[in-house]
Structure 1
């Protein structure tokens, strides 16, 4: 590409040869929109979501003590979170019933993702506390991130951008419909 004809310019106004993949929805995450500023359950998105209709809250499945929801800022398509209904921050605060159900829902999330999207592997985990990397430290949530061989391409490494091939609403509908299959 001829740099003089490029539609893009560097920080000082010179054209460059870079193509741009705009992801404006990520700005909400970067700015911390919808992220609680304190430990209160009144402003916690994980406490608000169960009060919404499943499609509006991106809820895939509801259990007795925990529910499964799509991550609003996913690392990959189908990135789920298993959350207790109770507003607790730490794994050690779970009741035995909550711990068992979170484990059971995590297993079912993996089965469903394998069935629907042919996930070849998973990253599963909880980031405990702000220092541990929790984006919302006040409410416990376990990530279930589907992975595929070769899915970590140059975009996140060089471009600091994730590409997702499916809208969250379409992913939620697909997973919710296949949950009990």
Structure 2
């Protein structure tokens, strides 16, 4: 049997599972570092995916509990895309990926893990990051601990904000 080390998963396994929406609850807590929240905007926040497809996988999430883009104001839509661009920029500066996947899964049948609260995934990609492991072994290799990635991204995000 092959064993891969993923130490951050034990936190999820042992954690108490709430009944509410994590995207509504996490921003209410004063635990941004613990909750992997990197940035807070006016209408949206940026959070790292605790169970990433790749190192640096983050999401732009509205504070408002909604499952659709319908009915958003122009300001909400603009900030949503501005934060997506900010995520790409900080990932480029920090991790130098070869490309990105950006996507929104609307509805459970579209693959949304949390269908009731829309969010935009930003996944950095590198040449060769897709190999036989996910296909044959249903296993993904994440080479850096998520907390170490968070700290690097946060540091560069703060620097970028100062440079503006």
TM over 0.5, yes or no?
A: yes
Secondary structure class of the residue paired with 1:103: helix
Contact 1:75 1:145 in 2 (8 A): yes
**What CA distance in whole angstroms lies between the structure 1 residues aligned with 2:128 and 2:18?**
32
Q: How many Å apart are 1:58 and its aligned residue? A: 0.2
The 1:35/1:158 distance shift into structure 2, 3 A limit, reads farther
Match of 2:25 in 1: 48
The answer to whether 1:141 aligns with 2:119 is: yes
1:122-175 CA-partner distances (Å, limit 9, x unpaired): 000100011111000010100000000110021111111111111222111111
Contact 1:47 1:85 in 2 (8 A): yes
The answer to whether 1:21 aligns with 2:4 is: yes
Secondary structure class of the residue paired with 1:88: coil
**What CA distance in whole angstroms lies between the structure 2 residues aligned with 1:66 and 1:117?**
23
The answer to whether 1:121 aligns with 2:99 is: yes
Contact 1:34 1:45 in 2 (8 A): no
**What CA distance in whole angstroms lies between the structure 2 residues aligned with 1:122 and 1:112?**
12
Match of 1:67 in 2: 45
Unpaired runs of at least 5, structure 1: 1-17, 37-42
Give the number of aligned pairs. Answer: 154
1:49-106 CA-partner distances (Å, limit 9, x unpaired): 1123210110011111100000011000000000001111112232221111010000
Match of 2:64 in 1: 86
- Structure of greater Rg: 1
Match of 1:175 in 2: 153
**What CA distance in whole angstroms lies between the structure 1 residues aligned with 2:38 and 2:146?**
11
Displaced runs of 4 or more, over 6 A: none
**What CA distance in whole angstroms lies between the structure 2 residues aligned with 1:105 and 1:111?**
10
